[in-house]
Chains A and B, each alone.
Chain A
Amino acid sequence: NAGVTQTPKFQVLKTGQSMTLQCAQDMNHEYMSWYRQDPGMGLRLIHYSVGAGITDQGEVPNGYNVSRSTTEDFPLRLLSAAPSQTSVYFCASRGLAVSSYEQYFGPGTRLTVT
């Protein structure tokens, strides 16, 4: 299994540009989520999904859109990038069974908005 994969690894955007961060998992996990991590801070939840067609907002959703058309993929869209969105973005997945206690994280996408 590849686990959770994220692309790109690095990205530089100009203010106002749009882009999509890709996340995919091959573990058939129902639950997927996006976090951002600013320097010296813990992770903050942006959006999450409990299955295809179902998404919900996390702690810091403003400026980000998500959709979940398949179990495997959970892209994060920035419609109009702002410098405040400069951060490291992590995607994560896990099963929904009560016994699925471990959340698996991807390697991260490092985004700089100038």
Chain B
Amino acid sequence: DAKTTQPPSMDCAEGRAANLPCNHSTISGNEYVYWYRQIHSQGPQYIIHGLKNNETNEMASLIITEDRKSSTLILPHATLRDTAVYYCIVRVGGSNYKLTFGKGTLLTVNP
């Protein structure tokens, strides 16, 4: 699976959009981009995933560049409860895949 690079930490003001970047310059054509987050001491939680197109769900939006070498997770109106470590993961498609977690980005939402 392709390696990802994320900033170790970011800050965001409550109510503002949080934009979390991820670099995956070695991604191959059949690899998906996944985002999970881990609120302190809890198990990770799935947020969103995508292959080529931008995706949006009730939690977040995922913007993938046209060359697919980077992506941005957007939390449109961050709240204090969004303070967590956010993991960007790239994995091949298919049913028998394994998730590989890096160190992620610690997002701190400030009041």
**Size category of the binding interface on chain B:** 20 to 34
* CB atoms of B46 and A102 under 8 A apart: yes
User: Taking beta carbons and an 8 Å cutoff, which residues of B are in contact with A?
Assistant: 32, 34, 36, 41-46, 49, 87, 93-96, 98-104
Interface of B: prevailing SS? loop
Q: Is the CB of A105 within 8 A of B98?
A: no
Complex CA gap A99/B70 in Å reads 23
Quick check: A97 and B95 within 8 Å, CB to CB? yes
Known interface pairs A58-B98, A97-B95; A42-B104 also in contact (CB < 8 Å):
yes
Q: Which size class do A's interface residues fall under?
A: 20 to 34
Q: Which residues of B contact A40 (CB under 8 A)?
A: 103
A98-B44 contact in complex given A44-B101, A103-B99, C-beta closer than 8 Å:
no
Instruction: Indicate if A33 sits at the interface (CB-CB under 8 A).
Output: yes
Given contacts A40-B103, A43-B101, A96-B95, contact A101 B43 (CB under 8 A): no
Q: A93 to B43: give the CA distance in the assembly, Å.
A: 12
Contacts of B101 in A (CB 8 A): 35, 42-44
B95 touches A105 (CB 8 A): no
Q: How distant is the Cα of A1 from the Cα of B20 in the complex, in angstroms?
A: 32
A105 lies within 8 A of B43 (CB): yes
> Are A100 and B87 in contact, CB atoms less than 8 angstroms apart?
no
Q: How far is the CA of A25 from the CA of B103 in the complex (A)?
A: 27
Q: Judge whether B95 and A100 touch: CB under 8 Å.
A: yes
The 8 closest A-B pairs by CB, nearest first: A105-B43, A42-B101, A43-B101, A102-B46, A96-B95, A42-B102, A105-B44, A90-B43
Whether A2 is near chain B, meaning CB under 8 Å from some CB there, is no
In the assembled complex, which residues on chain B have CB atoms less than 8 Å from the CB atom of A59? 100
* Across-interface contacts of A33 in B (CB, < 8 A): 98
